[in-house]
Amino acid sequence: MKSAGSLYFAGVDLGSTMTKVVIIDGDGVIRARVETHTGAEHRRLANRVMEQALKQAELPFEEITYVIATGYGRINVPFADRQITELTCHARGVTSLFPSARTALDIGGQDAKGLKIKDGKLTNFVMNDKCAAGTGRFLEVIAKTLGLKLEELGDISLKSQNRVNISNTCTIFAQQEVISRLSEGVPVEDIVAGLHEAIASRAVGMLRRLGIEGDVVFTGGVAKNKGVVRAVQENLGHQVLVPDDPLISGALGAALLGKEIAFKSLEKGEPLPKKERRLAEATFYK
Amino acid sequence: MVMSEMETGLDRARAIYQDRTRRARELKAEGKQVIGYFDIYPVLEMLTALDLVPYRILGDMNEPITKADACLPTVVCPFIRSVMDLGLKGRYDFLDGVVMAHGCEVAEKTAHIWRTYLNPAYAHFIDTPHTTHTAALEQHKELLKDFKKTLEAFAGKELTLEKLRQAIEVHNEQRLLVRELYDLRKPDPPLISGTETLQVLVALASLPVTEGNELLRQVIRQAHERRDGPRIQPARLLLWGSIIDNTAIIDLIESLGANVVMDDTSLGSRAYFPLVEQTGDPLDGLANRYLVALKSPRTFRETVLTKTKRKDYLADLENRFSYLKDYAQEWKVNGVILEVLRYCDIHGYEVPGLKDYLDHIDLPSIYLEHDYSQAALAQLRTRVQAFLEVIG
C-alpha cells in the first residue's frame, strides 16, 4: 500500500465566475493550485483547469485518489468521484486556514453565503443567491459603469473622504444611482466607498441573522477588495480574518474532505465510493 | 368507472396527476356537475351530498404567468397568481361553478376577481372566520347555512340531513384512508415515496370522493405488496409549508439522499387528518371541523396563559406546534424543511416561532422560499443538499 504522502486528492470548485482546483497530498500539503476565469465556454472546460493543476503537481490524473467537485457547476463533472456543496467545502477549507473560525462570510461572483462552523463542520448557513445584488457581479457591473478595473475599486475607495449613501443594492437600480451621482459631480472614490458599504451592510445583516460567534473569516473573490473588507469590519465592529488567497477555501475544503473520506474508507478496509471518471468536458449544458 | 386490469393504483394516480382535468371532463360529459373550490375551507360534504363533483383548483408551476398580472398585483402569492392565470386561460372552463373561502387575504380578493372576470354559473364565497372563539364558531355555522341554501338553489334539490350524514361518512372514510396512506411512510424505508404520495393527493383533489377512496385502497394494497419501493436514505424529512401541488420540489429533495416521509401542507395531512364528528345537527360537526379542527396558520389561536395568567413564549409555541413534534416522533423524522411561497405572509410570519420551536426540540430545519416556478427551483438544490450534509 502507498504511504499517505503519496496519495493525492483534488478539489474542483466550479464557481460562477472563477474555477479553482487544488491538489493536496495525503499529508494535506498543497501540491497545486489553479484559479482561472470560468466564463461561458470555460464552464464546460473545467477539465483543462484540472489538467493545468495536474501539470503543476507533476502528476498523471490516475494518481489522484479522490476528486470532489463543488460550487455552482459541481453537477455533471465527469472527472469527479463525488459532489459536495460549496457550503460544506468552504466550512472545511476555512477551518484548515483558521482553526479558530466559527463564522465565515463568503462573497463570490454570484452569491453571498454566511456559515456557522463548529469543530470544523458546517452547522448552519444562510445564502443569498437570488440576484446579483451584494455579490461580485454587482461590483463588476459598477466597475464597468465607472470605467474602472474591478481590481482597482478597493484602493480607490480607500481614498474616499466623504462616502455617499447608495440606497439600492439592486444592481440595476444602483447602476442608475451611480450615474446620477456622477452627474452631480460626486468624486468617484466616494461613490465606490458607498457601494462597498452597501455590500458590507447587506452581508453583515445576513451574518447577524445567522448569529455571529468567534472569529469571522471573510473569503471569496470579493474579499480581495480592501474597501469591502474595511466596510465589513466597520459594520461588524471588529477585525475579520482574510486568507492570503481568499478564492481557494472551497477547492481546498473539497480536497481535504476527499482525503478524509478516503482515509475513513481505508481505515475501515472498505472500497472507496468511486464513480467511473473521465478527464473530459463537463456536460452541464448538454 | 372501468379501470384497466393492468393499471396499478400508483400508475393511475400518476396518470391523473399528469392530466388532472381529464376525469372531471369525462364526468362532465356524462352529465355530472363539477364545482371547483379553493383551499381547504369549503365544506366538500355539501357538494358530495348534492351529487356535485368537488374539484380542487390548483396552479401550474410550469405555466408562465402571463395573463393574471392584468388583474392581480405581482407582489402577491405566486400560487394564487398562477391559479388566476389558469382561470383566465380557460384551464378550468369545464367547471359549473366555484366555491371559495377566506383562506387568506389574497385568496379572498382573488375569489371576487374570479367571479368578476370568469362569471361562473354558480359562485359562493364563505367568509370563514379567523378565530376559534364560540362566537366565531356560531358565525361559521350560519355561513354554512347560507352556503347550503345557495347550493340547493343551484342544484335544484334539497340537501337532506340524511344525505349530508352519508357524505360526512364517505369523506371521513377518505380521511382515514389518507391516514393509512401516511402510515405507509412510517417504516424505514417508507413503503411509498414523497413524490408518489403527492401524486395520490393531487389525484384525490381531482376525483369524486368515492373514486378517490377506491384509488386509495388500490394504492395502499400495492404499496404493501410491491418490492420496488423507496430505498433507505440517510435523511427522513418532514415538509411543512403552504401548498405543494407539483412533485418537482419533492423530486429535488428525494434525489439528494432523503425520503420525504411526512408533511404539514394544505394539500397533505393538514387537509385530511381532522375528521368530522357526526353531531345531531351535522352542521355543528362540520362548522367545528372546518374552523377549529383544521390547523392552519391562517386561523388565529389564543395564546395560552400560564397558571399565573402570564404569557409564556415556549408554552405558546408548544401549544401551536406540538403536533409537529408528534409527527416527527411517529414518522422518525430527522430534519424539517420549511417551505414558503414568496409573499405568503401567513406562513412567513409563522416561521420565526416555528423555527424557535424546532430548535428547542433539537430538530434541524431549513427555510426555503420559492417563486412557484419549476424553472427557478435549481436555486434550492444547493441549500437542500447543504442542509442534508449538515444533518447527515
CATH assignment, A4-90+248-268: 3.30.420.40
The answer to whether B379 contacts chain A (CB < 8 Å) is yes
Looking at the domain covering A129-236, what would its CATH class be? alpha beta
% of residues, chain A, pLDDT over 90: 65
CB contact under 8 A, B389 and A88: yes
For an interface test with B, the pick among A87, A90, A131 (most B C-beta atoms closer than 10 Å) comes out as A87
> What digits encode the pLDDT tens for the residues A186-212?
999 999 999 999 899 989 999 998 999
Identity (one letter) of the amino acid at B348? G
In degrees rounded to 5, what are phi and psi of residue A87? -65, -50
Q: Do A130 and B379 make contact, defined as CB atoms within 8 angstroms?
A: yes
Contact status, residue B41 vs residue B294, Cβ threshold 8 Å: yes
**For A120, which residue in chain B has the nearest alpha carbon?**
B390
ipTM of the complex: 0.87
Residues of B in contact with A84 (CB under 8 A): 389
Per-residue pLDDT reduced to its tens digit, A118-156:
988 999 999 886 677 778 888 988 899 889 999 999 999
Per-residue model confidence (pLDDT) at position B48: 98
Closest chain B residue by Cα to residue A72:
B382
Tell me what the mean pLDDT of segment A213-217 comes to: 93
| pLDDT digits 0-9 by tens, B111-123 | 999 999 999 999 9
List CB contacts (< 8 A) between A123 and chain B: 390
Read off the pTM. 0.91
Q: Is there a contact between B389 and A84 if contact means CB atoms under 8 Å apart? A: yes
Contact B389 A123 (CB under 8 A): no
Angle at B383 between CA B377 and CA B385, to 5 degrees: 100
- C-alpha to C-alpha distance for A39 and B2, rounded to whole angstroms: 57
Q: Answer for the pair A78, A57: CB distance below 8 angstroms, yes or no.
A: no
Query: Which amino acid appears at position A178 of this protein?
Result: V
Please write the tens of the pLDDT for every residue from B1-47: 444 555 799 999 999 999 999 999 999 999 999 999 999 999 999 99
**How far from the centroid of its chain's Cα atoms is residue B366's Cα?**
21
For chain A, the residues whose C-beta falls within 8 A of a C-beta of chain B are 72, 84-88, 121-125, 127, 129-130
User: How close is the nearest chain A Cα to the Cα of B86, in Å?
Assistant: 26
- Chain A CB within 8 Å of residue B105 CB: no
- Is residue B85 predicted with pLDDT exceeding 60? yes
A122/B390 CB distance under 8 A: yes
| Across A61-75, A87-101, A153-167, B368-382, least confident range | B368-382
CA distance A156 to A72: 31
CA distance B364 to chain A (A): 9
CA atoms within 13 A on the CB side of A79: 27
What percent of chain B stands above pLDDT 70?
A: 98
Yes or no, beta carbons of A88 and B386 under 8 Å apart: yes
- Dump the DSSP string for B64-86: ---SGGGTS-TTS-HHHHHHHHH
Nearest one of B178, B215, B164, B218 to B52, comparing CA atoms:
B164
What lies within 8 Å, CB to CB, of B92 at 6+ separation is B21, B36, B57, B86, B118
Whether B255 and chain A come into contact, CB under 8 Å, resolves to no
Helix axes B194-204, B209-225, angle to 10 degrees: 160
Chain B residues with CB-CB distance to A86 below 8 A: 382
Distance between CA A171 and CA A71 in Å, rounded?
A: 23
Helices (H), A58-170: 86-97, 136-146, 153-158
Best of B365, B369, B389, B391 to disrupt the A interface (most A CBs within 10 Å) is B389
Q: How many Cα atoms are found within 13 Å in the side-chain-facing hemisphere of B282? A: 18
Q: Could you report the per-residue pLDDT of B320-333, keeping only the tens digit for each? A: 999 999 999 999 99
Range(s) for CATH 3.30.420.40 in chain A? 4-90+248-268, 129-236
